[in-house]
Amino acid sequence: MEALLAIGTRKGLWLARSSNGRADWQVTGPHLPMTDIYALAIDQRAGSPRLLAGVTSEHWGPGVATSDDLGVTWQEPEQAPISFPEDTGAALERVWQLTPAPEPDVVYAGVEPSALFRSADGGRSFELVRGLWEHPHRPQWTPGFGGMAIHTVLPHPTEPEHVTVAMSTGGVYDTTDGGKTWAPANRGIHVKFLPEEYPEFGQCVHKVARHPARPDTLYAQNHHGVYRSDDHAKSWQSIADGLPSDFGFPMVVHPHKPEVIYNFPLQADEHRFPPDGRCRVYRSEDGGGSWTALSGGLPDNGFYSAVLRDAMCVDDADPAGVYFGSRSGEVWASADEGEHWQRVVEHLPDVLCVRAAVI
Amino acid sequence: MAKVHLPSMLRPIAGDQTVLEVEGATIAAALDELRDRYPALERRLRDESGALRRYVNFYVDGEECRRLAGADTPLAARTELMIIPSVAGG
């Protein structure tokens, strides 16, 4: 078994490979140097892995780069792969999410300013999903600290017309007609930063995840609030009891066990650090009913870094690997579903996203 | 014709040329011309709304275009248009 771990940072991409059960890692990089990499995907639908990276150069702007040889060479089409149509008056700021869909060659991109794009050619060119862009709520979506972006895209595993997205700050939206119409899907999600405690939309969701075998169950980490939905986002219930904080960014589902989820709580809002400076991943094995702090090999003190919304992931091996990267440029891996951790690499730039797969 | 001087980082997407000759009467018109010849180059200089990228500077005979008329700054024959990435990033 060979595992590939792609690490997107504020200054480029690093790739780590392990051929001995994820015991040792060979790290290469920087690839795509001096670009922010907020979005990564390892697309294996065609048999051989294609890497997709949402890159932003401070000077030369945003784009999508792809590699079919595991990062040795990268391609970007002549024409901008993602471009707002002229009549929108908008310009692409950043690609936040690249998600291969169950249909062959379909890839979704969530971007800033908040919009969804769809590719039918494996991520080489994309088209704006007009129904969401023209949503009457859009003028009322507001930027979070990180920007106003669609950072989560969840195509339904068996219903191509059904896609769920999440954005900061706007909340969760759902379409069941291929993107023509979108409904807010935030009932039950509490907010602390608006006059209305349970608004129809406007929530600051940080990440939403689900397991493909149980698509009606969704898990969300919000800006204060950890939630579960069992009716495909029609309603949400808190699962924050048992966590040291209801604040954090990532939310990840185990690749084979729909009830096993991972997150990384931060004390908030005054101190956005792991509680007591302890580096801890929290795992629930019962869909959020109870939580366990995972500490094997992780720093017990002095860890004052954060893990961002896409900087935690799992691979698809059995047992599954779990990974996270910190804003202090450390990347940690567990080959046994979170029981024991080892540091893959340190001293990188801020880690923005990680993605892993068995190749 | 005006001459557009490219920084080294952009030359590989413009046929490895250092200087391009353009007929456009303004910076915007020159970039429209480049869009047809080298789309990958043009989109690194301005976004799809036509705005010049924030951290790319366009010097027209030594004067940065934002102190002139921005993208509407005229380019006369033999004008030297230098494209220089600004100081940015950490």
Return the half-sphere exposure (C-beta side, CA atoms, 13 A cut-off) of residue A150. 26
State the Cα–Cα distance between residues A194 and A266, nearest whole angstrom: 21
For residue A349 the two structure tokens come to: 């730039």
Of A266, A128, A140, A134, residue with least CA distance to A201: A140
ipTM for this prediction: 0.93
Phi and psi of B3, rounded to 5°? -110, 130
Inter-residue contact A324 to A311 (CB < 8 Å): yes
Indicate the pLDDT class of residue A26, thresholds 50, 70 and 90. Answer: very high
What is the pLDDT, as a whole number, of residue A353?
A: 98
Q: Give B-chain residues touching A329 at CB under 8 angstroms.
A: none
Question: Measured between CB atoms, does B44 come within 8 Å of chain A?
Answer: yes
State the Cα–Cα distance between residues B10 and A323, nearest whole angstrom: 36
For residue A242 the two structure tokens come to: 């048992």
User: How many CB atoms are closer than 10 A to CB A165?
Assistant: 30
Decide if pLDDT at A63 tops 90. yes
User: A91: which DSSP letter?
Assistant: -
For residue B55 the two structure tokens come to: 């951290």
Q: What percent of chain A has pLDDT over 70?
A: 100
Decide if pLDDT at A298 tops 80. yes
A151, A160, A189, A233 from A164: Cα distances, Å: 11, 11, 16, 9
- What chain A holds in terms of domains, given with CATH numbers, is 3-358 (2.130.10.10)
User: How many CB atoms are closer than 10 A to CB B11?
Assistant: 15
Average pLDDT, stretch A187-215? 94
For residue A125 the two structure tokens come to: 């060119």
Q: List, in order, residues 6 or more apart from B15 with CB less than 8 Å away.
A: B38
Question: Measured between CB atoms, does A198 come within 8 Å of chain B?
Answer: no
Cβ distance A91 to B85 less than 8 Å, yes or no, reads no
For B5-52, the pLDDT digits (tens) are 999 999 999 999 999 999 999 999 999 999 999 999 999 999 999 999
Question: Measured between CB atoms, does A91 come within 8 Å of chain B?
Answer: yes
User: How many CB atoms are closer than 10 A to CB A292?
Assistant: 13
Mutate to test the interface with B, among A60, A76, A84, A94 (most CBs of B within 10 A): A60
Q: What percent of chain A has pLDDT over 90?
A: 94
Decide if pLDDT at A98 tops 80. yes
Helix (H) or strand (E) holding A252, with range, is strand A252-253
Handedness of CA A5, A126, A82, A72 (dihedral sign): positive
Strand partners, B5: B19, B82
Strands A94-100 and A26-31: unpaired
State the Cα–Cα distance between residues A31 and A17, nearest whole angstrom: 14
State the Cα–Cα distance between residues A166 and A99, nearest whole angstrom: 13
What is the pLDDT, as a whole number, of residue A270?
A: 83
What is the pLDDT, as a whole number, of residue A147?
A: 82
Give the closest of B10, B43, B53 to A80, CB-based. B43
Verdict on whether the full-model pTM lies above 0.90: yes
State the Cα–Cα distance between residues A105 and A205, nearest whole angstrom: 28
Give the closest of A34, A58, A91 to B48, CB-based. A91
Decide if pLDDT at A344 tops 90. yes
Helices (H), chain A: 130-133
State the Cα–Cα distance between residues A197 and B43, nearest whole angstrom: 43
Q: Give B-chain residues touching A82 at CB under 8 angstroms.
A: none
Centroid of chain to Cα A305: 18
Q: Chain A window 58-77: which residues touch B at a Cβ cutoff of 8 Å?
A: 58-61, 76-77
Q: How high does pLDDT run on average in chain A? A: 96
State the Cα–Cα distance between residues A332 and A159, nearest whole angstrom: 35
Question: Measured between CB atoms, does A83 come within 8 Å of chain B?
Answer: yes
Inter-residue contact B35 to B27 (CB < 8 Å): no
Q: Which residue has the tokens 């795992």?
A: A283
Inter-residue contact A240 to A287 (CB < 8 Å): no
Cβ distance B44 to A61 less than 8 Å, yes or no, reads yes
Indicate the pLDDT class of residue A79, thresholds 50, 70 and 90. Answer: very high
For residue A50 the two structure tokens come to: 């294609």
Question: Measured between CB atoms, does A289 come within 8 Å of chain B?
Answer: no
What is the pLDDT, as a whole number, of residue A271?
A: 87
Indicate the pLDDT class of residue B57, thresholds 50, 70 and 90. Answer: very high
CA distance B49 to chain A (A): 6
Centroid of chain to Cα B40: 13
DSSP labels, A224-284: S-EEEESSTTSS-EE--TTSS-S-BS--EE-SS-TT-EEE-B---SS--S-GGG---EEEE
Q: Which residue has the tokens 């709580």?
A: A265
Cβ distance B47 to A76 less than 8 Å, yes or no, reads no
DSSP labels, chain B: -EEEEPPGGGGGGGTT-SEEEE--SBHHHHHHHHHHH-HHHHHHHB-TTSPBPTTEEEEETTEEGGGTTGGG-B--TT-EEEEEE-S---
